[in-house]
């Protein structure tokens, strides 16, 4: 599993001529780092003098960040698995008309999944913005820049994942599916950029 590799081994695998891990897995990793940094700022706020009024909120934020972090670790492999399934579909036999048709259907189904997995990553990565915004404004002031980095990583994760959605959409024949997903992609792209700008404007150094 990619998620169980050391940092050095993961980087080596990414840099190799293997197509996985690719952009979708790296988007998930970026989201995991964003959640981890948000959790760190929350944990640095729990029990600290001067933050008594936000203890319940910050504890909830830490738990939610932990949940998201674990989810994104799973998505590192989930995205790579989805890509591998597309490659497997392309290797199916096409020696008869029936097999060729089955192969086409398998490719389309695998490609739809390969679009939906990074879309899920983008949706969930966007949720980190709420936690990052909270820790930037209410968390330990000594760690405010970590909240800012979490914000930027969240944006990167969302936009990176959406690029992986779009490249898969270009191969999907189902027009209704493409139109529906494309509309969500555009909305997420627009919203995450605005949200990042809003949160970073509140970082006081």
The per-residue pLDDT for 39 is 98
Q: Tell me phi and psi for residue 134, to 5 degrees.
A: -65, -45
- Which domains are assigned to the chain? 19-200 (1.20.120.680)
Is the Cβ–Cβ distance between 149 and 36 less than 8 Å?
A: no
48-70 pLDDT, tens digit per residue, is 999 999 999 999 999 999 999 99
Q: What is the pLDDT of residue 74?
A: 96
Q: What percent of the chain has pLDDT over 90?
A: 97
Q: How far apart are CA 90 and CA 106, in angstroms?
A: 8
Q: What is the mean pLDDT of the chain?
A: 97
Reduced to 3 states, what is the DSSP secondary structure of residue 56? helix
> What average pLDDT score do residues 135-153 get?
98
Tokens at residue 158, please? 């969302």
Q: How many CB atoms lie within 10 A of CB 146?
A: 20
Phi, psi torsion values for 21, nearest 5 degrees: -70, 145
**Distances in whole angstroms, Cα of residue 53 to Cα of each of 38, 121, 140:** 19, 33, 12
pLDDT at position 64 is 98
Q: Which of 148, 143, 87 is nearest to 113 (CA)?
A: 87
Cα 12 versus chain centre, distance: 21
Give the C-alpha separation, 45 to 53, whole Å: 11
Q: Do 92 and 106 contact (CB within 8 A), yes or no?
A: yes
Helices (H) and strands (E) in the chain, counts: 6, 0
> What contacts 11, CB < 8 A, 6 or more positions away?
none
- Which tens digits make up the pLDDT trace of 71-82? 999 999 999 999
**Which pLDDT does position 180 carry in this prediction?**
98
Predicted confidence at residue 1, as pLDDT, reads: 85
The reported pLDDT for the residue numbered 116 is 98
Inform me whether the pLDDT recorded for 123 exceeds 90.
yes
Residues 22-43 have a mean pLDDT of 97
CA distance 69 to 73: 6
């Amino acid at each position: 599993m990619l998620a169980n590799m050391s940092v050095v081994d993961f980087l080596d695998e990414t840099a190799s001529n293997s197509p996985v891990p690719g952009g979708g897995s790296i988007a998930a990793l970026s989201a995991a780092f964003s959640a981890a940094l948000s959790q760190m700022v929350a944990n640095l706020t729990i029990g600290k003098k001067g933050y008594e009024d936000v203890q319940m909120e910050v504890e909830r934020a830490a738990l939610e960040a932990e949940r998201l972090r674990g989810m994104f670790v799973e998505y590192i492999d989930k995205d790579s698995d989805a890509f591998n399934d597309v490659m497997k579909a392309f290797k199916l036999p096409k020696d008869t008309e029936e097999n060729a048709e089955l192969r086409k259907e398998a490719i389309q189904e695998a490609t739809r999944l390969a679009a939906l997995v990074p879309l899920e990553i983008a949706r969930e990565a966007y949720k980190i913005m709420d936690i990052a915004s909270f820790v930037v404004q209410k968390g330990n002031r000594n760690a405010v820049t970590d909240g800012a980095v979490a914000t930027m990583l969240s944006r990167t994760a969302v936009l990176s994942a959406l690029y992986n959605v779009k490249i898969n959409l270009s191969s999907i024949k189902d027009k209704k599916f493409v139109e529906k997903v494309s509309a969500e992609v555009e909305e997420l792209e627009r919203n995450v950029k605005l949200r990042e700008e809003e949160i970073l404007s509140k970082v006081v150094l």
